[in-house]
Each structure stands twice: as structure tokens, then as C-alpha cells.
Amino acid sequence: MKWTPLPTGGFTGIHWARPGATNGVDPYLVWAEADQFAGYGGKQPRWLPIALELNPGVSIAQLLAAASPKWLHVPPVYTSATAPQELRFCTARVRSAFFRHIGPGGDLHALVKRLELGLPVGNGTDDPPGHATPHGSPPPGGRRLLTGKVMGLIDDSLALAHANFLDARGKARTAFFWRQDREGKGAAPAALGYGHELTAADINAAMQANVFGGMVDESGVYTTLGLSTLGQKSRGGRVQFHALDTAASHGSHVLDLAAGPRTVEAQIANLPPGFDAPPSWNDANDDASRAPIVAVQLDYHTVADTSGGSMNVHVLDGLMYILSCCAPSAQIAVNVSFGTLAGPHDGTSLLEAAMDQLLALCGKRLAIVIAAGNSYQQRTHANLTLGRGESHALHWRAQPDDTSQSFLELWLPPGAQGIELEITPPGRAALPALRLGQSGMWLDGGTQPVCGLIYPDSVATGERGTCALLALAPTFSFDKDTATSPSGVWQVKLTNTQAGRVTVDAYVERDDVVIGTHGGARQSHFEDRFYNTSGDPGQWVDHPDNPSLIRRSGNFNSIGTGARTVSVGGTRISDGSWARYSPRKPDPDASRPERPGVVKVPDTHAYSDENPILLGLKAAGTRSGGVARLVGTSDAAPQVTRRILNRM
């Protein structure tokens, strides 16, 4: 059993096995090059999508002036009139030459602070529009920018023609809709350069063209607009479906709770919750039910990306798109009911820092509301403190028949220099222990990596301490040429060789199946004999005296721990208690040692369950008159978004 040194990156040209090469880098970029982009379709991109942060005092215009459009393309939205002048975050598509220029002595070395990989499977890797022309040209004018209060949504499938998203005249309230993947109708928004955009005029025309017997054929509308089911075969042979030909879609459900004609409070007043309550747009105090909507539909490959790495690019682009549709005087509340599980959880991830700066620059005219997550009971978080000479082992179960990659992040606080990591694959002997600054791949006798451990001194994905990334190949593949890892329990042994005590958090990344897709993902999790789910409250794992290293507290949406965004947990209508899947406060582990800055409790809460038996809330299905019940803090966040917009 041995580790194989990391290779030289086929795209970046970086010799990752060189001492210090992985320091300050996104470890997911290192892994992507180590396994030759197997987790992203197995094809090296022509252009690599990234999200980046510039050093203080550096502008995006300065970055573009120092670079060449032959190897760096930043969407024009980041330099347009609607972008805050002092913004130091942007997305980009880069060629391999970019990595030479950000290295020591390069033209961009003093400008770029950090960057993260943002690569979904299906979009963003082609030649960007105008990549061979000078930077900085603004998008074409002529768009009438929205004023007043605006509801923003970043989510997945949205039933644009649903009656709950029309105004009192039966016209679309969705002023602008941007679908980020390659499918659908409409031109790419000039400010972003990819995906397809629809305006209210496009939606209204499609509805008018599909009126039969005085009623709109909504299925016909979605076919006209290219939003109907699109069966796409993935590399592994699984078929992914788009959700508008199902009874429920996440985006439609969330938007109804944020901006539909009936509030949850109105439903509660007519218990049991139902849709016979009066429409809110008759309520002079509910501006959200009348406000224009700007909606962004995430690339489905981003939604299904188990590394969580491509969400940074697409959420940040989505926020900039929403701002580009609004006048400087507009008041905007944006709901994001998506997220990931791994990450620093201290607000220093690149996307969280970008959202915080956007909110600071835009002031009170912008709010971003984020669901706190549904992983409280999923056993995806472990917390442990090691004294000198102490060792503890985590047991991470990789599921059989998992066609997606799995990831475990071990976050260490600043100054933790002496933690050794020893990995034991299922049914095998232990691999040699690695220390800070060391990395390697395990080939298991083959030519492709089965797993990788990237353990640098510092990372781009957080700013306090460092992260060791353990990445696993799928445990199953339809493609015989794809490397697979053994399913079962992977043991991760941590040993502290330094003086003092060190607290470590371990987070398993999200790997579930989203609504409307069949991707073959299976969520991995920790196992521990002390993890007690019995009915005795004194033995619950939530109790601070329970010895289990698996802690429910700390399971939190990793893009929702910023200082200025609003995170929302879920509670029950019946008694106001916390939903079992939601983070809650007070924190049951408040007395437990923790890394600096970690956020474990939501900023606020709203309803997400009716009672302990009837989970979730009812809201719009994918067709007018249809009602669907979905469960999660995705139900809670849009209610808070609605309140914030109404109070603006």
C-alpha cells in the first residue's frame, strides 16, 4: 500500500508533487487534474471556469488591463454600469497561460488573491464570446431596468406560466429569466455570454400562442420556450430529467412561498393549511406578491455537482445578472435555497466573501437570504479535539452503487502544524500517514487514482487554517474505463504530534439526488457506535455529554455562514419547535471546543413543517391549480425573503 505522487496538471501545467505547489490552491482543482477531470465528464476543458478574488485595492478593470483576452475572459457584467465599482470578486474563463501569469513573477501575481474551480459538466468550457477582442465592452443598451421592489430567485426549474406568478391581468410577473445551461430558447444575455434569457414579453407571447378554449396550455408554453423535459444521457448511462414535466419543481415551490399570491400566514389562518385563503395581492402590505421577478435557473450540472465546486461561479453570476436587470434605485431581495455541506463554515469561502462584499457595497437595497440546510440528521459532520499524542479515527461509509465522486474535508485551525492523517481503505491495509504539506494518490494497482489526499499548508477555499481533502472515485460506473473505489468504511485516523490541543471539523460533501434528476448519487456518511438515536433525551447525540464524534450541530449550508447574508432554519407550525432536519438555536454544542469563527446556528427561522408527522409545506406545483408538498429549510427561507422585501 503506497501513495503515488500527484502528476503535472494537464491544463495548468503545475507540477503538483513539487513541494509547496498545492499551497493556497483550491484542492478540488488539484484533484480534478489528478484524475484527469473524470468527475467532470473525463474531458479536459478548452476554457476553465473559475471564481476569483482580487487583492485589496485592485479593481476588475486593472485585472483586465494586465491580462490578455486570449487567456482570460471576465463576463462584461462585472465591469458594467450596474456592477459596484469597488467589487473585488468576479468569475472568469481562463486558458492554461493564465496559471503562468498568476505565479511568482507573473503579470497577475500581485493582483489575484485566490481562485476556486467552478467547473460543471456541461457548460462554460467553450470559447467565450469575444474572447479574442478587447475586454471591458459593456453589454448592449436598450434594456429597461426594473425599479421599485424586485424579487430575485436563484434556483432550479421554474414554472413561468403558473397562475401564481402572473399579475392581476394574467401577464407574466417574471420580467427576466436566465437559464444557465445550454438548453432552452432565447439569446444568451450579453452581459454574461452563456445560457438563454427570456423576458416577460417572450413569456407572454408563448402563453398567447398556446391559448385553447380560453385557457393557457402550460405544457405547450414550456415546449415553446424549450423548458419541457429534456432527457440527457450522462457519461455513465444515467438519464437526467428536467423537472417541469413532474408534479413538483423546487424553483416553483420556493418562488410561490416567496412571491406567490398567498402567504403561509394566510394559509395558517385557514387551518389546516390550504389554498382557499384570499390572495395576498389584495393585501396592500404584501408588495412581494406584486413585485416583478428576476429568476435564474442554475445549470442542472451545477445542481448535481457533488463537489459543490461549480456553485460559486453560477450563484455569483446569477447575483450579478439580477443586479444587471435592476436600476440603482431598485430594492432587491434574493432567495437562494441551494447550497453545499462541506467548506470552512466561517464565512471565508470565496462565494460567501463575495456575497458579503456585494451586500456591503449595495447597502440596504440588496438582501440575500439562504436556507440553512437539511443535513442535521445526515451524519455528515464530525468534531474532535486532540491533545498532544492523541489519536482518533473517523469512519466514513462510502455507499455501493454510487456513480458520483465523494468528498471529505478536514478543516484545521490556524497554527495546526502537527496533525498526521492515516487513511485505511475498506478491507485493505493502511496507507502511509501524511503530514501537513504532503499529498498523494492511491491507484490500487491501476493507472487512474481511486482516491486522493490533498493536504496543503493553506487553501483558497477558506482563509482560517487549512483543509485536507480526501476525494474518492465513484464506487460504481457503467463505463469500464472509469476507476472505481471500494465501497464500505474508510477509516481516517488523525494524530496530533504537536504541543497543545487542536480542534478539527470534518465535513462530508453533499451527494444527494435533486428533484427531477436520476444521477445515481448516494450520500456517504460517518458511522460511530456512540451515535445514539434512542428515545432517551439524556443519550441523544445532541446532548453535549454524548461522546460521539459525529455532531448534528455544525451541519449547516456552507454558503450560508457569511456575516451579511441571512440564513434561515425551519420550525413547525404546530408548536414552533425546530424541524428535525434543520440547524437550530440555541446551539446544543455551544460548550464544545470549536475552530475560530465557525457558524452553527441560523440567523432566523420560519415554518417548514406543519407538525411532527406532516412534514413540509404545500405550495405551487408545476401547473396552475396544482399543489405540491416539499420538505426542508428551502420552505423557510423564501418566507423570510418575502418579509424582508415587504419591509424594504
Give the domain 149-229+239-375+577-647 fold: Rossmann fold (3.40.50)
Q: How far apart are CA 585 and CA 55, in angstroms?
A: 36
Which of the 8 DSSP states describes residue 611? Answer: S
The cell for 440 is 498523494
Say which residue the cell 476569483 belongs to: 52
Please state the rounded mean pLDDT for residues 485-495: 97
Average pLDDT across the chain, whole number: 90
Q: What are phi and psi of 112, to 5 degrees?
A: -90, 125
* pLDDT the model gives residue 539: 61
Q: How far apart are CA 646 and CA 149, in angstroms?
A: 8
* pLDDT the model gives residue 136: 43
Q: Which long-range contacts (CB under 8 A, 24 or more apart) does 528-536 make?
A: 528/382, 528/395, 531/379
Distances (CA, A) of 495 to 215, 379, 435, 572: 67, 22, 10, 42
Confidence of residue 266 (pLDDT cuts 50, 70, 90): confident
* pLDDT the model gives residue 233: 42
- pTM for this entry: 0.94
Cβ burial of 141 (10 Å; 0-12, 13-18, 19+) is: exposed
Confidence of residue 43 (pLDDT cuts 50, 70, 90): confident
- Predicted confidence (pLDDT) per residue in 545-575, tens digit: 888 999 999 999 999 999 999 999 999 999 9
Q: Under CATH, to which class is 381-551 assigned? A: mainly beta
* pLDDT the model gives residue 71: 97
Cis before 272 (ω within 30): yes
pLDDT at 410 > cutoff 70: yes
Which amino acid makes up residue 228?
S
Higher pLDDT, 388 or 338: 388
| Other beta carbons within 10 Å of 122 | 18
The cell for 530 is 456512540
Are domains 149-229+239-375+577-647 and 381-551 of this chain identical in fold?
A: no
Distances (CA, A) of 157 to 151, 216, 289, 336: 16, 19, 20, 13
- Predicted confidence (pLDDT) per residue in 182-199, tens digit: 888 899 999 999 999 999
- Predicted confidence (pLDDT) per residue in 532-545, tens digit: 766 565 566 777 78
Q: How far apart are CA 282 and CA 184, in angstroms?
A: 34
* pLDDT the model gives residue 142: 61
Could you give the percent of the chain with pLDDT greater than 90? Answer: 76
* pLDDT the model gives residue 530: 87
Say which residue the cell 427531477 belongs to: 516
Is-contact 470 492, C-beta < 8 A?
A: yes
* pLDDT the model gives residue 521: 80
pLDDT at 278 > cutoff 60: yes
Is-contact 528 550, C-beta < 8 A?
A: yes
Spatial CA neighbour of 180 closest among 308, 302, 7: 302
| Other beta carbons within 10 Å of 434 | 19
pLDDT at 237 > cutoff 80: no
Q: Which of 176-190, 360-374, 529-543, 595-609 has the lowest mean pLDDT?
A: 529-543
Is-contact 181 299, C-beta < 8 A?
A: yes
Say which residue the cell 496543503 belongs to: 456
Structural domain spans, the chain? 35-117, 149-229+239-375+577-647, 381-551
Please state the rounded mean pLDDT for residues 59-67: 97
Q: How far apart are CA 251 and CA 229, in angstroms?
A: 15
